Structure 1
């Protein structure tokens, strides 16, 4: 009887790192971090100025006071402008990601899938083996021999 040896912690860790999921996740994080710069640039350079033309770009100064006086650092302030600004930033970022990445990728994948299904739906053409001149001449010879054999009385 052979006893199965328990893998060591190091062997388990090594197996974990070598699985494809970990590598895929690492690549996704790196690509996501690089893509964040693009999304932030689009939001900061295009979307925010358009929104700022309609209203204001900085909502951080909007707040409400819960106490009788909120002058200086005294009182209890609800910074609802910061929350609203963060929520708008999230919605704008999500819209940019959706319209610039998710939607085009979904359309591309749908086209690829449609092509794949169309290709599967068409019957496969079975290639006819090409005949060489020698093969054709042999067929003619065999046909002539067969014709001569059936038309003659055996001379």
Structure 2
């Protein structure tokens, strides 16, 4: 029973120590910190700018659906829709998405495209090298056949008649000198 606990714990440890789990944890922590920065920019800069053109801070815009929206004894009377708060959250999301896209996704896509093009070119060069090596070997074979004085197809395949040079048969096999 103790062995099963150890193997489960070791498996869990191996799962946690894999690179992608640690990368994910780092991404979550950095994402949370980045969200705080974006929220600060929206609340500290964008909302006051909107408030300068309107009557109040962006998050302060609201509408009453039912009754009058007044605070009586610390309690809101009526039903209030805080559409300014929703709009502020949408702006935060759009800013975050734009920064992630333009500073992370787009550059990474360009790097991956360059890497894919490089790999494709490398495969093309390797294929060309294989073809050129084959052509060189054929030329060497043809040159050797031409030196022996035989035909190209019989010397390369070994299926000739057996009367050519180097076969041990025919007049060239035993010169009389």
Q: CA RMSD in A?
A: 3.5
Cα pair 1:63 1:79 within 8 Å, conserved: yes
When you count strand as a share of all residues, which structure comes out higher? 2
Q: Tell me how far 1:60 sits from its aligned partner.
A: 3.9
- Relative to structure 1, is the Cα distance of residues 27 and 68 closer, same or farther in structure 2, using a 3 angstrom cutoff? closer
C-alpha displacement at 1:97, in angstroms? 0.7
Tell me if structure 2 keeps the 8 A contact 1:61–1:79: no
8 Å Cα contact 1:66/1:76 also seen in 2: no
5 Å-filtered alignment, 1:1-155, equals: 5-8=3-6, 11=10, 14-55=13-54, 56-60=56-60, 62-64=62-64, 66=66, 72-73=72-73, 76-81=77-82, 84-122=83-121, 123-124=124-125
Q: Count matched residues.
A: 122
The structure whose Rg is larger is 2
Q: Unaligned regions of 5+ residues in structure 2, if any?
A: 130-177
Unaligned runs of 5+ in 1: 127-155
